[in-house]
Amino acid sequence: MIQESSQSTEDLGTLDDQSPADELTVVPRSGARSVSGGTRFVVVEAACGDLVREALAGAVSPLWRATVVDLDSLHAVRPASMISKAAVVVLGGADSRLPSVETIAQLRSMHPQVGIYVIADRVADVARQLPALAAAGVDEVFCRDAAGEVDAFRETLAQRVGAPAPATELRHVWKWFRDVPERALVMHCVRNAFREDNWAIRTKVFGACRRTLQNRVAGIGLPSPGLLARWGRVLHAQELERRGVEPATVVAQLIGLPSASALHRARRRVRKALMERGGQSLVFVSLLK
């Protein structure tokens, strides 16, 4: 379980020397493109620090700030406040030390909007735990010994930090569906809608085929995972706009859409699809601007 203990903070990018020592405001390295929208926060275990530094060095994002912690210190006073503001928590210790399912579940219950990623040394270390980790609320697990997964982590983290999850809306969804058995799946679809929908990620994380996952949400009268993801993508756009990111072409770029026109079409189509479904789908419409 998560316990209080001491923690440390480290600079994982280029430290702005004008900042107070306790602020650790980090700026993108030379050559990185930057957009408006406020500072992005990352909480990371020390063993994953190098991967995070590499991933964010050229991220299309504004200032970002990283707090390095030990797994057992995630709820010391300062890290707890950092997690509530973080776009991402990256966990995975040295020597195949992985966070427990209970740790993930506790983090998720307190921070439903935060992206939680686990780094494992070997596929064998985590394969049997994947379904339980998914049910607890993990977003993805990346294995260092699997071809392409380190690069996939770098790409995912840069995209996630560039387009933070819609915190207010996700907290609403978390509460609304507290008694729904597929809450983890619903939340995963929405929270990971910062890029083009990818069924391969969803099936890998939940250990089930596309048809099975579709049947799981259809059986309780909810929209399909694909529609939930498209709805989540619109919410991510709303979050960026709320943070002051502009113009619409930049908002579209940060969530993987080709143009402002594509973003406008996505908004119209999602609203129309949910309205036509009616029933519980109207709950989702209520959170669209």
For the chain, domain boundaries: 14-162, 167-285
In the 8-state DSSP scheme, what is residue 28? P
Q: Which architecture, in CATH terms, is 14-162?
A: 3-Layer(aba) Sandwich (3.40)
Both ends of the chain: CA-CA distance in Å? 39
More confident residue, 4 or 115: 115
Given CATH 1.10.10, say whether it is the number of domain 167-285: yes
The pair of three-digit structure tokens given for residue 74, joined into one six-digit string: 């995630």
Q: Of how many residues is the chain composed?
A: 289
Determine how β-strand 40-45 pairs with β-strand 115-120: unpaired
Q: Are 58 and 31 in contact (CB under 8 A)?
A: yes
Alpha carbon distances (Å) from 149 to 6, 43, 153: 32, 20, 6
- Which amino acid would we find at residue 139? D
How do residues 65-101 score in pLDDT, each as one tens digit? 777 777 666 655 445 566 778 889 999 866 657 888 9
Before 247, cis peptide (omega within 30)? Answer: yes
The pair of three-digit structure tokens given for residue 127, joined into one six-digit string: 């394969």
H or E element, residue 15: strand 14-15
How do residues 143-169 score in pLDDT, each as one tens digit? 999 999 999 998 999 888 889 899 999
Domain pair 14-162 / 167-285, same fold? no
